[in-house]
């Protein structure tokens, strides 16, 4: 018995040692992208990588191949190897040392990236109910990269592969889902979708920092970010989803070089102000992704922006044109959405057709399917007397307009002034004329932000925005700010142009600025209320945009304002004097004069510095429901003589529906007060976005400008 006990003890030690050595052997770390349910690109030498103890031996074996492959972790612990995959199929398993990944499929893998229109979930679209209920596709797999940003490239991200089900599809990118579903339907094999996007993100946020530094447009964004850091709140780094390289570092770099077939992209709204750099930015991004993935010129298909009012003329159309010009980047394709947008909502709800149009490019170009994949694309012009003939690619069986007269054509002469034009289909071309232009030199089509034109090929694919000219499209806006100088009882007006602005011309009587009006040379003073118009110039070319600001003199101007609930740091509007500085905001909530509130009630007390007979109180608000900005349900006004005991003077109810589209300004005015007060309090309760809204359940924004006391 004693010998038996000793043997058991020795055996136990051996077993424990063996188990410990096994645990050490198993102590490898895999990126999140390698997990159960993953899809590997078919017939490909797929990179597999991870981290382990330096010198540790890594063995990878798959259930489709009896031969194992091995490597050794380097001195930093990194290891990588290539795993060859068969034709589409599965499920399989992959064993990496002691870890086994189950339910692995072999098929087609696509990266799906961009900003909010790519991020938009299936549950937020116009075809949610039955589509979600039927979204039971075991061979479609979904990987959703968690939103994150970073100053340096991260080695890993957060996410996991999930089987496509009603539950997983509901919160997944709608565009990516419909794209993948179309591939699956047509190809019949497994599809893997890697969704990595962030609403409101810029293109430069998705590009490697050293690559950005090597280009003029990249250096522009880097310098702007450095300037923002220098001027930001001390102790807070203003890195966000628009910062150069921030999303590349956290949400793209960890995925490289996972094997893919290609990428789809839906972005551009956040780059409209710098539309003139977008074509080069796209080439920089696409070429850098391809170089880092090491898969040659993999296909890159993107969505052209839909019609939407961006509050600055032409910037949306100019960005669409930059996207059209990006088609000369090798192995790219563009899904046109001119017919399925919503000019009043930056997030059109029809994502099904977007996904299907992207898939049409892939099915034709990458999978050899004989299907139509593009609408008419501009391919040259000829001047014919008083008209200009436009030629197209992808006319297919002919041009059409559903029997309607062709719309949204403009024509110009040497003076560069565009006039509405008549256009007629003649065979596979379009002839454009206008009685206002005898000697035409240029044509533009659907070249305003909100244009919803009607030309397509007879197969139903719409034509893209285009222009035949290469004239400067200058859209810089002017920011007008106001400071009340209490000692002088004057307003100090300051102006700032865009980065390309060489001069600002302005008027103070409400008239339109021209090359003959005053040039802004520095801050100037005005005495009374007035209407200021300002326009940026680049050399002798005026901006298309004119900024208008109303200056108002009233009892609360320059007085002390106390915030019982803090405004949002992203939209300070000028700080604690923003609502009593005498200047009203425009329809552009980025004009610097709107103060933003989110997640908090509004509660502000103004000390008038003395007792005054008050007749009326008012405050301006902006609504733009597509941007999650709503009017308050009601605005309450209070008065006090001592700043402690307030009496309610009344309330003003909102009378404009929350679902009203576009940018709307409403002034909440309470009249016939007839009382004497020193302190005025303005209050409103926070709101959440209603059930019908695409952001339902989230906090709504309030944007408030001047509180006027008379």
Contact yes or no for 593/578 (Cβ under 8 A): yes
In the block, tokens 């454009």 appear at 432
Within a domain: 383: yes
In the block, tokens 């003029």 appear at 216
Please tell me the predicted confidence (pLDDT) of residue 6: 55
Rounded Cα distance, 300 and 333, in Å: 7
- The pLDDT of 637-657, averaged and rounded, is 95
Give the Cα-Cα-Cα angle 496, 313, 662 (nearest 5 degrees): 105
Please name every residue paired with 141 in a beta bridge, in sequence order, or none if there are none: 163, 192
Within a domain: 432: yes
DSSP H or E stretch at residue 223: helix 216-230
Query: What's the mean pLDDT when you consider all of the chain?
Result: 93
Say whether pLDDT at 600 is over 50: yes
- The pLDDT of 457-485, averaged and rounded, is 95
pLDDT-above-90 percentage for the chain: 85
Rounded Cα distance, 159 and 180, in Å: 19
Q: What is the pLDDT of residues 514-536, one digit of tens each?
A: 999 999 999 999 998 999 999 99
Tokens of 432: 């454009």
Say whether pLDDT at 591 is over 90: no
Domain boundary among 467, 501, 536: 467
User: Who's near 328: CB < 8 A, 6+ residues apart?
Assistant: none
- The pLDDT of 249-253, averaged and rounded, is 98
Please tell me the predicted confidence (pLDDT) of residue 590: 82
Main-chain phi, psi angles of 345, to 5 degrees: -140, 120
CATH number at residue 202: 3.40.50.1110
Q: Are residues 322 and 294 in the same domain?
A: yes
Domain boundary among 551, 570, 603: 551
How many CA atoms does the CB half-sphere of 284 hold within 13 Å? 23
Q: Are residues 431 and 405 in the same domain?
A: yes
Within a domain: 545: yes
Please tell me the predicted confidence (pLDDT) of residue 128: 74
701 SS3 class: strand
Contact yes or no for 313/457 (Cβ under 8 A): no
- The pLDDT of 281-304, averaged and rounded, is 98
Question: Poorest-confidence range of 10-19, 189-198, 385-394?
Answer: 10-19
Q: Are residues 431 and 448 in the same domain?
A: yes
Per-residue confidence at 695, pLDDT binned at 50, 70, 90? confident
Q: Are residues 339 and 450 in the same domain?
A: no
Q: Are residues 331 and 453 in the same domain?
A: no
Residue numbers of the domain that contains 461: 377-467
Please tell me the predicted confidence (pLDDT) of residue 5: 53
Please tell me the predicted confidence (pLDDT) of residue 692: 85
Please tell me the predicted confidence (pLDDT) of residue 13: 43
Q: Which residue has the higher pLDDT, 12 or 437?
A: 437
Rounded Cα distance, 391 and 395, in Å: 9
Q: What is the pLDDT of residues 555-571, one digit of tens each?
A: 999 999 999 989 998 89
Neighbours of 43 (CB within 10 A): 11
Please tell me the predicted confidence (pLDDT) of residue 543: 96
Q: Are residues 456 and 416 in the same domain?
A: yes
Within a domain: 158: no
Q: What is the pLDDT of residues 26-52, one digit of tens each?
A: 479 999 999 999 999 999 999 999 999
Within a domain: 301: yes
Q: Are residues 286 and 346 in the same domain?
A: yes
User: Among candidates 402, 394, 388, 393, which has minimal Cα distance to 432?
Assistant: 388
Please tell me the predicted confidence (pLDDT) of residue 570: 84
Q: Are residues 218 and 335 in the same domain?
A: yes
* Cα distances (angstroms) measured from residue 337 to each of 296, 462, 698: 29, 7, 28
**What total of structural domains would you count in the chain?**
4
Say whether pLDDT at 83 is over 60: yes
Main-chain phi, psi angles of 300, to 5 degrees: -135, 110
Say whether pLDDT at 236 is over 90: no
Please tell me the predicted confidence (pLDDT) of residue 4: 45
Say whether pLDDT at 10 is over 80: no
Within a domain: 274: yes
Within a domain: 94: no
Question: Poorest-confidence range of 285-294, 365-374, 383-392, 483-492?
Answer: 483-492
Alpha helices for 371-426 (secondary structure H): none
Q: What is the pLDDT of residues 341-365, one digit of tens each?
A: 999 889 999 999 999 999 999 999 9
- The pLDDT of 671-695, averaged and rounded, is 92
In the block, tokens 């990194």 appear at 78
Rounded Cα distance, 297 and 281, in Å: 17
> Do the strands 332-335 and 300-303 form a parallel or antiparallel pair, or are they unpaired?
parallel
Say whether pLDDT at 21 is over 60: no
Within a domain: 26: no
Q: Are residues 483 and 462 in the same domain?
A: no
Domain boundary among 467, 488, 522: 467
* Cα distances (angstroms) measured from residue 49 to each of 135, 249, 310: 32, 18, 44
CATH number at residue 484: 2.60.40
CATH number at residue 702: 2.60.120.260
Q: Are residues 517 and 559 in the same domain?
A: no
Q: What is the pLDDT of residues 176-202, one digit of tens each?
A: 999 999 999 999 999 999 999 999 999
- The pLDDT of 315-338, averaged and rounded, is 98
Q: Are residues 445 and 527 in the same domain?
A: no
Per-residue confidence at 266, pLDDT binned at 50, 70, 90? very high
Q: Are residues 481 and 504 in the same domain?
A: yes
């Amino acid at each position: 018995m004693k010998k038996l006990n000793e043997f058991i003890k020795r055996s136990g030690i051996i077993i424990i040692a063996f188990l410990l050595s096994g645990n050490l052997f198993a102590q490898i770390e895999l990126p999140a992208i390698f997990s159960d349910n993953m899809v590997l690109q078919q017939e490909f030498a797929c990179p597999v990588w991870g981290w382990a103890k330096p010198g540790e031996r890594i063995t990878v074996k798959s259930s489709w191949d009896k031969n194992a492959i091995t490597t050794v972790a380097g001195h930093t612990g990194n290891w990588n190897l290539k795993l060859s995959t068969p034709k589409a199929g599965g499920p399989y398993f992959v064993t990496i040392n002691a870890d086994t990944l189950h339910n692995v499929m072999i098929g087609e893998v696509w990266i799906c990236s961009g900003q909010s229109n790519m991020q938009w979930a299936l549950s937020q679209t116009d075809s949610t109910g039955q589509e979600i209920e039927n979204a039971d596709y075991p061979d479609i797999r979904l990987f959703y990269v968690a939103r994150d940003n970073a100053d340096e490239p991260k080695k890993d991200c957060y996410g996991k592969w999930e089987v496509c089900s009603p539950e997983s599809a509901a919160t997944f990118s709608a565009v990516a889902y419909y794209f993948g579903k179309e591939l699956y339907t047509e190809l019949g094999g497994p599809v893997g979708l890697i969704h990595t996007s962030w609403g409101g993100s810029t293109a430069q946020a998705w590009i490697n920092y050293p690559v950005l530094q090597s280009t003029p447009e990249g250096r522009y964004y880097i310098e702007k970010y450095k300037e923002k850091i220098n001027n930001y709140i001390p102790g807070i780094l203003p890195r966000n989803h628009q910062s150069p390289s921030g999303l590349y570092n956290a949400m793209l770099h960890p995925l490289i070089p996972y094997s893919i077939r290609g990428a789809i992209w839906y972005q551009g709204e956040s780059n409209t102000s710098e539309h003139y750099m977008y074509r080069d930015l796209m080439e920089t991004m696409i070429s850098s992704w391809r170089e880092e993935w090491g898969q040659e010129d993999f296909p890159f298909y993107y969505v052209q922006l839909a019609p939407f009012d961006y509050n600055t003329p032409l910037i949306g159309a100019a960005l669409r044109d930059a996207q059209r010009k990006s088609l000369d980047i090798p192995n790219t394709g563009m899904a046109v959405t001119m017919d399925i947008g919503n000019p009043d909502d930056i997030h059109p709800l029809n994502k099904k057709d977007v996904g299907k149009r992207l898939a049409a490019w892939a099915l034709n170009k990458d999978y050899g399917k004989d299907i139509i994949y593009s609408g008419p694309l501009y391919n040259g012009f000829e001047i014919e007397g008083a008209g200009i003939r436009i030629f197209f690619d992808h006319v297919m069986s002919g041009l059409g307009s559903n029997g309607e007269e062709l719309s949204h054509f403009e024509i110009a002469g040497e003076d560069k002034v565009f006039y509405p034009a008549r256009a007629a289909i003649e065979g596979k071309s379009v002839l454009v004329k206008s009685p206002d232009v005898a000697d035409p030199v240029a044509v533009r089509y659907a070249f305003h932000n909100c244009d919803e034109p009607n030309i397509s090929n007879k197969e139903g694919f719409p034509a893209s925005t285009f222009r035949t000219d290469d004239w400067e499209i200058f859209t810089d806006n002017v920011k007008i700010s106001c400071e009340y100088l209490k000692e002088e009882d004057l307003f100090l007006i300051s102006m700032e142009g865009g980065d390309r602005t060489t001069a600002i011309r302005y008027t103070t009587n409400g008239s339109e600025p021209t090359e003959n009006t005053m040039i802004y040379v520095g801050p100037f003073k005005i005495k009374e209320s007035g209407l200021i118009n300002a326009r940026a110039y680049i050399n002798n070319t005026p901006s298309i945009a004119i900024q208008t600001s109303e200056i108002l003199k009233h009892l609360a101007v320059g007085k002390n304002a106390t915030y019982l609930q803090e405004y949002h740091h992203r939209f300070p509007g000028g700080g604690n004097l923003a609502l009593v500085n005498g200047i009203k905001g425009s329809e552009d909530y980025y004009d610097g004069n709107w103060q933003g509130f989110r997640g908090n009630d509004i509660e502000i007390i103004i000390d008038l510095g003395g007792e005054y007979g008050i007749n009326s109180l008012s405050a301006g608000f902006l609504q733009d429901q597509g941007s999650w900005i709503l009017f308050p349900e009601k605005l309450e006004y209070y008065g006090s003589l001592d700043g402690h005991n307030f009496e309610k003077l009344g309330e003003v109810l909102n009378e404009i529906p929350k679902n009203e589209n576009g940018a709307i300004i409403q002034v909440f005015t309470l009249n016939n007060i007839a009382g004497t007060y020193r302190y005025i309090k303005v209050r409103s309760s926070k709101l959440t976005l209603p059930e019908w809204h695409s952001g339902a359940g989230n906090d709504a924004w309030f944007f408030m400008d001047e509180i006027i006391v008379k």
